[in-house]
Amino acid sequence: MTSPRYAPPKDLSAYAWLSIAAAVLTIALKAGAAWMTGSVGLLSDAAESLVNLVAAVVALIVLKVSIRPADEDHHFGHSKAEYLSAVVEGALIFVAAAFIIISAVERILTPVMPERLGVGLAVSVVASIINAAVAVVLYRTGRRERSATLVADATHLATDVMTSVAVLLGVGLVAVFQSPVLDAVVALGAGLNIMWTGFRLLSDSVAGLMDVAPSAQALATINAVLDAHRVEGRVDFHAVRVREAGNRRFAHVHVLVPGAWTVKEGHDFTEELIDELVAADPSLRVSAHLEPIEDPRSYDDVDDV
């Protein structure tokens, strides 16, 4: 059961619904524009938005799973599910990039002059504004709540915006120079850039699955609480290890106290310490091991990894 000491994680699924709504709207806008103009750039842009829709649905499911409490099969909860969503998002970005690159190469080999460019430009601008606004909301919320899922979804939407900007550039160049190849060349560049973004997202997600250490700021917050309780020769801490797990952090610390303390004294001190740590970082889950500071065996596991 969840202890009252730890507040339950926030349900952020409303932001996934926002992403789904944006994806549906932009798909309709971009697909219509691609059909009217025949622009491969706009077609690739619409494909990217279709991938966004799939990714947003995955994000919705994962956000619901990640806030489930610990159970018999998952003693540390389900927060790591967020990294699964980020991996899926990264893979889907690769799929979208591949589609864009293939379409661009085909159009370079067989150029076709887009039509009704003014309409295509206007639609692409509207869709880009929608995606950019939603991406900003998701990214800020994801960073604030430490949600890998929302950050990944925001990154995905940002790649969509980059594609749209590239499409605008390509269609604009076609309109100025009357060369259909320029549309495909710009789309090819956008596809390669998006593929690089997908690679970076996958790298970050894998790091999370490997129990990466938290930021320097998060570690500094924990160490500040510990330092406030250190007393030379009487109270100290070692083997402090902290790992990220989606919307939670898990910390383990060895608490060194005088061997003359009673079990209750050591227990009370440790419980108060944990309360202070959680107050400083509400996402933290803490386990502590009490040891006598005078016993040499207390230091045998200092360098264990």
- The pLDDT of residue 237: 94
Containing structural domain, residue 75? 13-209
Q: Please write the tens of the pLDDT for every residue from 47-85.
A: 667 777 877 888 888 888 887 877 787 777 777 777 777
Task: Answer whether 206's CB lies under 8 Å from 213's CB.
Answer: no
Cβ-contact 208, 89 below 8 angstroms: no
* Res 243: pLDDT: 85
Closest Cα to residue 164, out of 15, 20, 34, 297?
34
pLDDT at 218: 84
- CATH code, 279: 3.30.70.1350
- 131 and 256 in one domain? no
Length of the chain, in residues: 305
> What's the pTM value of the predicted model, to 2 decimals?
0.62
Contact 214, 204 (CB under 8 A): no
Beta bridge partners of 256: 236, 291
- For the chain, residues with pLDDT lower than 70 are 1-4, 7, 38-42, 44-45, 47-48, 112-120, 167, 171, 174-175, 180, 183, 207-208, 246, 302-305
- Residue 2, pLDDT score: 47
The predicted pLDDT at position 158 comes to 83
Q: Domain boundary at 190, 209, 228, which?
A: 209
The owner of tokens 């969509």 is 160
Q: Residues 31, 170: one domain? A: yes
* Same domain, residue pair 233 and 114: no
Same structural domain for residues 165 and 45? yes
Structure tokens of 132?
């950019």
Separation of alpha carbons 116 and 96, rounded Å: 25
CA angle 264, 267, 273 (to 5 degrees): 140
The angle, 0 to 180 degrees and rounded to 10, between the axes of the packed helices 40-66 and 117-145 is 20
The pLDDT, as a whole number, for residue 116 is 60
Structural contact between residues 88 and 46, judged by C-beta atoms closer than 8 angstroms? no
Which single residue is written with the structure tokens 């606004």?
133
Task: State the CB neighbour count (10 A cutoff) for residue 26.
Answer: 29
